[in-house]
Structure 1
Amino acid sequence: MRISIAESAVICLVYLETFLALLLRLIPQKIIRVVTWTVNKLEASAETPTELHLRLAPTVHDMCRVFGIEVEDHLVRTEDDYILTLHRIAPKPGRFNGKVVYLHHGLLMCSDVWVCNIKRNNNLPFVLHDLGFDVWMGNNRGNKYSTAHLTRTPKSYKFWDFSIDEFAFFDIPNSVEFVLRRTKVPQLICIGFSQGSAQMFAAFSLSEELNRKVSQFIAISPAMTPRRLHNRIVDKLAKSSPRLMYLLFGRRVLLPTAVMWQKTLHPRIFNWMIEFGNRQLFNWKSKNITPAQKMVSYAKLYSTTSVKSVVHWFQILQAQKFQMFEESDGFINSIQKPYQIACFPTRTNIQIPILLIYGGNDSLVDIHVMKENLPKKRVFDIEVENHEHLDLIWGERVDALVIINVIKFIDFFDHSSSLLGETSFPKCKGNDDDDAETFSIKEGIFSSHEDTFQNYEHPVFHNMVLTDFHSN
């Protein structure tokens, strides 16, 4: 097995980090706690109470309490016996509007990422809750809220033997089914961020029954077939054999020492490391996220997942197809393989109206390729100019640029008599291409419902930004 110089350098860096982490573990825990307390005390002087409490909040419950909101825990047993935790923000008595929303996080994340904005109205679940929605937030198997299994422990290899396939076959449909049973409604609305949207695309493409249970799907910073990683060396390594990832990180949890570094390093140093990694991998500069927001959000950015799920993404990168996981044999060259890896049938099997909200500077989103792999006449998209991937959940103007359009999309389909006919979506001026009709909130599909939003007594509607919707 030949390893290149670049691969050797990466291996050395990873093993160096592992060695330093081992040395850190030798330091008595009392000293670590004193250092952590001192660092947080020094940093606290520069933070507002909200910023400090959010950054130090250990769970989604503590984060929501900062804003006076209570969260319920619900446990879901998947068909392959993982135990997932769903977090629910129940509607206030007498305020339920009859609609249920299910949100799902991205790669290396958990439900924390939805509720860590310093500005209350930049947190999508809170705005939905204020408007009377029954809000549920899912968690993938393996993250900090879902590390239980009926027969396997997180210390075993078998526990971490999952990829995007398992998220699509089990986690998403089993979570949706649980929410529907609990709320006793026939359909719900799905919202996914990043990999969360990819999991939903995959799950919807595999189940006709699941399509009937979801009324609308909103994908924020949607991921499906990223073009490439920004750093050419890392991109080349990512597209090489999975053997390197398994050699570097093993076959269980990915980056297990990340939480330890987060607790022991000064927050500004840890944030610099996150910024450096994002710049090298994706060329993200995060200029739309304030420094204060980064202090909070980056503390909630990481949660555990399997090495195999990241290897799956690298296979998608290499193939440039939204495909299922390939159980690779490192000794068989891809040219010699006598079989094809199945792709998720997203273009033909998804029957749900979809809204794609993506950043114009997001290196992970190729909107044209994505729309080619989704059904025509069911997909709308909004480009948020000069914004990147993480900006769409943590950016300073999320309320005006993202949340308002989520609510508008939901409201439009609630007031439409038909969701499936080609004439359901009125045309408006702007594009001569019959296959790429343009829709505008101001002049097009939302014009007849503009007065509806004036009835919403919520601050987010005071910052309405008129955006162009485009259909596939």
Structure 2
Amino acid sequence: MLRFLLISALAVLASARRSPNADYVEKILEAEFAGRYSNNIIEDALLDVPGLVTKYRYPLEVHTLTTSDGYILEVHRIPHGRDENNTPDSNKPVVLLMHGLWSSSADYVLLGPGNGLAYILAEAGFDVWMGNARGNYYSKRHLTLNSNGGRGNIDYWKFSWDEIGNLDLPVIIDHIIATTGQPKLHYIGHSQGSTTFLVLNSLRPEYNDKFISFHAMAPAAFFIHSQFGLWSVAPLEAFLEETLHAIGVAEILGNRDFFTWFAVNYCFEGTTIGNICDSILNGNNPEYYNSTLTPLFFGHTPAGCSLRQMSHYGQSINTKKFRRYNDIPIRNIEAYGRPTPPEYDLNKVTVPTYFHYSYGDVQADYRDVEYLADRLPNVVGRLLVERDSFNHFDFIWGVDAKDQLYDRLAELMLGYHKDE
């Protein structure tokens, strides 16, 4: 789909030009964040997350975990800071970061030391863990199933974000607690990363006791008001899934090698194709977007997901409900004991919850976030980002994400540990 978007954009956006705020962004980078972003865009686009973290001299651990249904997950850990709080300490507060649809743990390090959320939290004194959901670039292995394309391997891809929340997260969380010795942790999720947290704690409410706080950045659950253009294909979700599965297509945007190759060869600032790459990543809202980093972002994102993850969101859009995946009636009966899927019981999500959202987000519309917040029993904060134009990708790539959001996140979580 992203290839199609790129080709289509070439035809309709040939007149794309430099961001009207590019000079301002460059001034910000020179004055405040000099030397903190990538010092070699192409090199960093080609590195994986462990390579990036170690390149910038942060401690890095790679943990491999297996779910109850055989998926092998890769989790990345930055146990302490590089410049501050830079000694191992078993008493550090723990935080788990989970990425959104099509993404990976790379979301939290691409902005580089001083700006990437994982680095900021490590310097603030946190033991930082970054998960990777089944099916993305880092978590494509399985004990018995093959994730490669083709009709014979469709079974690997028969999962949605329901399984990510219900089966992936418990394994990750239990491993973190066992490894660190800390009985509870903080959780930050962007978009689908928040969806899966809600799935986990509604289906397995005993996990509520394992969290200190939940920070939902641009959470995706209800889609009553969202006007995001791609949602227009939602009514076709059942037909598309059945048709694509029949021809052996079950993975979406999973060819990271292609996107990395395209990024490092074509997505350069100031070129026509580079401007089109920018428009895809910044949502046609170029304010506060650092177009110099576009090859780096495209080098790591998209990281792949299952067609069923997208289908499940399509069902949420169609029904305007937050409920479990809807299969054919006989399989629904097998899974849920009823011919239609039940809604997630949000009353069971009792973790102290903070919503971080914005007026400029067309994917997670602020009214849908507020609708979700009204249905949770323990909402501590509804925190609108100050900049009105802050969009869905600014939560992970915005040049001012540190000032608008990340520093506040660290402060809120540290507030739980002042007396320790």
Short-chain TM bin: 0.7 to 0.9
String of CA shifts for 1:105-136, please: whole Å, max 9, x gaps: 11001111110014x21111112111221111
Classify the secondary structure of the residue corresponding to 1:344. Answer: coil
Q: Does 1:287 align with 2:290?
A: no
Name stretches of at least 5 consecutive residues in structure 1 with no aligned partner: 1-9, 18-47, 330-337, 418-472
How many residue pairs are counted as aligned between the two chains?
360
Q: Does 1:244 align with 2:240?
A: yes
Name stretches of at least 5 consecutive residues in structure 2 with no aligned partner: 9-36, 81-85, 330-337
Classify the secondary structure of the residue corresponding to 2:47. Answer: coil
How much does 1:270 deviate? 6.2
Task: Describe the shift of the 1:212–1:322 C-alpha distance in structure 2 as closer, same or farther (beyond 3 A).
Answer: same
Partner residue in 1 for 2:220: 223
Partner residue in 2 for 1:315: 315
Partner residue in 1 for 2:64: 75
Partner residue in 2 for 1:122: 115
Partner residue in 1 for 2:304: 304
Partner residue in 2 for 1:38: none
Partner residue in 2 for 1:108: 102
How much does 1:278 deviate? 5.9
Residues 189-208 of structure 1: matches in 2 within 5 Å?
189-208=186-205
Which letter does structure 1 place at the counterpart of 2:401? V
String of CA shifts for 1:195-242, please: whole Å, max 9, x gaps: 1111111111122221011111111122111334433xx533222342
Residues 90-169 of structure 1: matches in 2 within 5 Å?
90-91=79-80, 92-94=86-88, 97-118=91-112, 120-155=113-148, 156-169=153-166
Partner residue in 1 for 2:27: none
Partner residue in 2 for 1:409: 412
How much does 1:382 deviate? 3.1
Residues 353-392 of structure 1: matches in 2 within 5 Å?
353-365=352-364, 366-385=368-387, 386-392=389-395
Larger radius of gyration: 1
Identity fraction in percent: 24
Task: Give the TM-score normalised by structure 2.
Answer: 0.78
Judge conservation of contact 1:288–1:396 (CA < 8 Å) in 2.
Answer: yes
Task: Describe the shift of the 1:270–1:110 C-alpha distance in structure 2 as closer, same or farther (beyond 3 A).
Answer: farther
String of CA shifts for 1:443-463, please: whole Å, max 9, x gaps: xxxxxxxxxxxxxxxxxxxxx
2:47 pairs with 31, 38, 58, which one?
Answer: 58
Classify the secondary structure of the residue corresponding to 1:56. Answer: helix
Distance between the aligned counterparts of 1:276 and 1:289, measured in 2?
10
String of CA shifts for 1:124-171, please: whole Å, max 9, x gaps: 111211122111100001111111111111131111110011011111
Which letter does structure 1 place at the counterpart of 2:183? P
String of CA shifts for 1:59-114, please: whole Å, max 9, x gaps: 10221133211311101111111110110112243556521111111100111111
Which letter does structure 1 place at the counterpart of 2:250? R
Q: Does 1:394 align with 2:397?
A: yes
RMSD of the alignment, in Å? 2.7
Partner residue in 1 for 2:185: 188
Judge conservation of contact 2:63–2:74 (CA < 8 Å) in 1.
Answer: yes
How much does 1:301 deviate? 1.8
Task: Give the TM-score normalised by structure 1.
Answer: 0.70
Classify the secondary structure of the residue corresponding to 1:240. Answer: helix
Which letter does structure 2 place at the counterpart of 1:65? T
How much does 1:258 deviate? 6.0
Partner residue in 2 for 1:235: 231
Partner residue in 1 for 2:24: none
How much does 1:306 deviate? 0.8
Partner residue in 1 for 2:332: none
Which letter does structure 1 place at the counterpart of 2:349? I
Distance between the aligned counterparts of 2:52 and 2:188, measured in 1?
20
